[in-house]
Structure 1
Amino acid sequence: MITLLIIADDFTGALDTGVQFAASGANTRVVTSANYDLNQVDSEVQVLVMDAETRHLSPREAYDIVYDITKRAIEQKIPYLYKKTDSALRGNIGSELTAMLSATGERTLSFLPAFPKMKRWTKEGIHYIDDVPVSESVFGKDPFEPVTCSYIPQIIGIQSEVKVSIRTDSNRHLSEKKYSKETQTEPELLVWDAKTDEELETLGQYLYDTDQMHLTAGCAGFATVLPKLLGLERVSRQNINLIPNLLVICGSVNPITAAQLDYAEKNGFLRIRLKPEERLDQEFWTSSHGQEKLSQWKDLLTTHSCVILDSNDLPGREDTKDYAKAHGLSLDEIRMRIAVSYGYILKYLLESGLQSTLMITGGDTLLGCMENLGVREMEPICELAPGTVLSNFSLGEKRNQVISKSGGFGQETLLVDLACKISSTTI
């Protein structure tokens, strides 16, 4: 029976939040369809994570999807709902939180966006990344979805007219009195400050004790608090054996991931940069030249233990932009074509007997790969590093593992550290 439904706006976010429960022993599933039938969920599943794929949609489209999922969850009498948001506040934050609040008919929704383990925290309603306001961080320069302001009520207000209030541990009593279900008549979003895991735990316990836990929102940071509060801790998992070779498929343009790739290349990884036509020409991989290239890469994977497939341009070059301009491609079309190309590449390699542990960075790339493989459901297992998730997926009769992470997560040494970790006997 589902105790908790999590609605995420992208695939890597669905996994890095779902794994917080799987690692505690809760039976957790991640599905990739916003139309997933809640009646078909296995009775043993306790936590269901739905990847609604609303990150790149219009605010209205995102609202409608989240509203519909929430309504269906209420009809199924799922007791706890969690709206997973991006830890850097990208996407349709205002419209999605408002949709969940409206669909439930509740008067308040508590939003706790901090993720202390990733150095992301909130003070007086301003969200920080590594002690820098988020709009001034690398996320303010994102080519697809830059975060243009750091004050959360302002971010929400761009898409919603719902009242927003800032709450801290010191004034939390206001929620207990002024915002009780009996007295509060105006719907309101409550944004909670937090900088440490201990603060998130304290606030979580407070919300649970005051019956305000049924409708909450945040990223994987606050999700780490929920298994214990909701009684979802179970037996520990069994050890996993991974193939010691590592194949990294990178579709992220985030500078944090770029630094990880550079460091890995300097430390012995073979880095293959895809040419513009290999990323963006949808017919390339079915051509004789494309098939020859795939065969070459398959052979390289047998002679190199750590390989990166990278869709980014060389520093100082704008080959992708030039190709897109010449072929009339929008930014959205670039993003999706790269994901489709990677999906084709991965399908070929797996069908050719890939003998490497697979890692995919970027939610669009992960979704594109899984869709091309016909995978609609994944089972998170554990975190190999904060925000870096190991999951199972089925392909035919075979169980496979994949490591995934958001482009904005991880230290510079992450890929090298992972290569060392998976070379161990068990994880």
Structure 2
Amino acid sequence: MPRLLLIADDLTGALDTAVAFAGAGRRVAVARTPATAASLAAERPDVLAVNLGTRDGSEAEARARMEALCRAVDPSGFDIVLKKIDSRLKGHPGAETDVLAQAMASPRCVVLPAIPAMGRVQRGGRIEGYGVECPIEIAPLFSGPVETPDAAGDDQIDHVVAERDGVLWVGASGLAGGLARTLFPGGPPERPTLRGPLLMVIGSRDPITAAQIEALSDIPVHAAPDGQVGDAALGRSVEVVRMTDGGAGRDGAPAGAEFAAGMAALIRQYRPASLLCCGGETANAILAELGIGQLDLLAEVFPGLPVCEVELPWGRLALVTKSGGFGAPDVLAALARGCVSGRFGDHAT
């Protein structure tokens, strides 16, 4: 069985891309930070995904973290290497890819961030479609030579990945799906059933996520202005807490840190059976507060929404993550409808 290394710049990206390889008894392990990557690699999972946590940092920091990771985990020890980048090319895709390509002795570099399943396609070296206001040129973001094949459908991606020798793959979940279909035929694992109570934690302010929240018409949303969770009392089978702009001009980093700490306290108090975290930094920060360094992927509950099982002091938690720019307008509402009933009072201490 081929072994695969996936390196992402945020946690939700690592999860929603690596989940394509789940199933048939394969272990898909995710290192929440580079610090845990080497020890997790020593366990030789079939797929190792690593979150660099560089999406919102500087380019210099992104380069430094990738260099350190390549020293700790030799990419040449894997059969397939996938540099996961944002499908709208946010962050520092070129800088991180440059470092990785050098560590791999400059292989062919194929850049394919398209996700045809969600209407985000690649034509003429540009990304366009769903959630992309203006077409984005791909090649200028990379200092070395890159190939940017067209991909308006999964069939085109499957054709591209048929030749895999000597390639550094750079892309998102659409490319991961093509690699998975080629490397591990047999289809995805069965979609899991989530049990309530379900807590949705929304840290992303992406317009796509905002529209999904609007579709939760019959579920009250607890606001956390500037990250201040307050004394939100949770009692319904599905609860939503959303970080909002409090109007004080507070910097995002301390607001996010306070939001994560407040949500971790609520999770410990109310002990949900299922937890959705929307936004990579939000998910990463909450897991850090809960002391979770690695995750094992199970399957997707909906496209772009992977599920992990997490062990906490009071038992196992089903963790669902969602990137801010992912999902159909009704995906959060569908998640709420599909969750098996169970109220928060059943688990409170």
Tell me if both proteins adopt one fold, taking TM over 0.5 as the criterion: yes
Is the Cα–Cα contact under 8 Å of residues 228 and 259 in structure 2 kept in the other structure? no
Flag the 1:234–1:15 CA change in 2: closer, same or farther, 3 A.
same
Q: Which residue of the partner structure matches residue 321 of structure 2?
A: 404
Q: Are residues 1:222 and 2:175 paired?
A: yes
Flag the 1:129–1:28 CA change in 2: closer, same or farther, 3 A.
same
Q: Secondary structure at the match of 1:352?
A: helix
Cα distance between partner residues in 1 of 2:193 and 2:301: 13
Q: Secondary structure at the match of 1:56?
A: coil
Cα distance between partner residues in 2 of 1:382 and 1:367: 19
Cα distance between partner residues in 2 of 1:410 and 1:196: 18
Q: Are residues 1:247 and 2:199 paired?
A: yes
Cα deviation digits, residues 187-246 of structure 1 (max 9, x gap): x222222110111011111x23xx244x2111011101222433x468975775532332
Q: Secondary structure at the match of 1:274?
A: strand
Letter in 1 for 2:141: I
Q: Which residue of the partner structure matches residue 140 of structure 2?
A: 154
Is the Cα–Cα contact under 8 Å of residues 237 and 341 in structure 2 kept in the other structure? no
Q: Which residue of the partner structure matches residue 262 of structure 2?
A: 345
Letter in 2 for 1:357: S
Runs of 4+ in 1 over 3 A off after TM superposition: 39-44, 70-76, 232-241
Q: Which residue of the partner structure matches residue 152 of structure 2?
A: 195
Letter in 2 for 1:402: L
Work out which of the residue numbers 268, 276, 301 in structure 1 matches 2:226: 276
Cα deviation digits, residues 149-182 of structure 1 (max 9, x gap): 71112233xxx3x2xxxxxxxxxxxxxxxxxxxx
Flag the 1:272–1:124 CA change in 2: closer, same or farther, 3 A.
same
Q: Secondary structure at the match of 2:110?
A: strand
Q: How big is the shift at 1:35?
A: 3.0
Is the Cα–Cα contact under 8 Å of residues 83 and 216 in structure 1 kept in the other structure? yes
Flag the 1:415–1:392 CA change in 2: closer, same or farther, 3 A.
same
Work out which of the residue numbers 222, 232, 238 in structure 2 matches 1:306: 238
% identical aligned pairs: 27
Q: Which moved more, 1:67-76 or 1:379-388?
A: 67-76
Flag the 1:217–1:323 CA change in 2: closer, same or farther, 3 A.
closer
Is the Cα–Cα contact under 8 Å of residues 343 and 373 in structure 1 kept in the other structure? no
Q: Which residue of the partner structure matches residue 259 of structure 1?
A: 211
Flag the 1:24–1:114 CA change in 2: closer, same or farther, 3 A.
farther
Letter in 2 for 1:275: P
Is the Cα–Cα contact under 8 Å of residues 87 and 219 in structure 1 kept in the other structure? yes
Q: Which residue of the partner structure matches residue 92 of structure 1?
A: 92
Unaligned stretches of 5+ residues in structure 2: 343-349
Cα distance between partner residues in 1 of 2:192 and 2:36: 29
Is the Cα–Cα contact under 8 Å of residues 192 and 300 in structure 2 kept in the other structure? no
Cα distance between partner residues in 2 of 1:278 and 1:364: 16
Q: How big is the shift at 1:414?
A: 1.0
Cα distance between partner residues in 1 of 2:9 and 2:41: 20
Cα distance between partner residues in 1 of 2:37 and 2:239: 38
Is the Cα–Cα contact under 8 Å of residues 270 and 306 in structure 1 kept in the other structure? no
Aligned length: 342
Q: How big is the shift at 1:111?
A: 1.2
Q: Which moved more, 1:354-363 or 1:65-74?
A: 65-74
Q: How big is the shift at 1:348?
A: 2.0
Q: Secondary structure at the match of 2:228?
A: helix
Letter in 1 for 2:294: E
Flag the 1:399–1:423 CA change in 2: closer, same or farther, 3 A.
closer
Cα deviation digits, residues 349-397 of structure 1 (max 9, x gap): 3322424521110001001100000111111211122111111112237
Is the Cα–Cα contact under 8 Å of residues 249 and 342 in structure 1 kept in the other structure? no
Written as runs of structure 1 = structure 2, the 5 A alignment for 1:110-129 is 110-129=110-129
Letter in 1 for 2:111: F
Q: Secondary structure at the match of 1:95?
A: helix
Q: Which residue of the partner structure matches residue 169 of structure 1?
A: none
Unaligned stretches of 5+ residues in structure 1: 137-148, 163-187, 280-289, 314-318
Is the Cα–Cα contact under 8 Å of residues 24 and 233 in structure 1 kept in the other structure? no
Letter in 2 for 1:258: A
Q: Secondary structure at the match of 2:271?
A: coil
> What TM-score do you get using the length of structure 2 for normalisation?
0.89
Cα distance between partner residues in 1 of 2:300 and 2:324: 16
Is the Cα–Cα contact under 8 Å of residues 380 and 391 in structure 1 kept in the other structure? yes
Q: Give the root-mean-square deviation of aligned CA atoms.
A: 2.6
Written as runs of structure 1 = structure 2, the 5 A alignment for 1:28-427 is 28-41=28-41, 43=43, 45-74=45-74, 77-130=77-130, 134=132, 136=134, 150-156=136-142, 160=143, 162=144, 188-205=145-162, 207-208=163-164, 211-213=165-167, 215-230=168-183, 232=184, 240-264=192-216, 266=217, 268-276=218-226, 278=228, 290=230, 293=231, 297-298=232-233, 301-302=234-235, 304-313=236-245, 319-320=246-247, 322-324=248-250, 329=251, 334=252, 336-396=253-313, 398-423=315-340
Q: Secondary structure at the match of 1:253?
A: coil
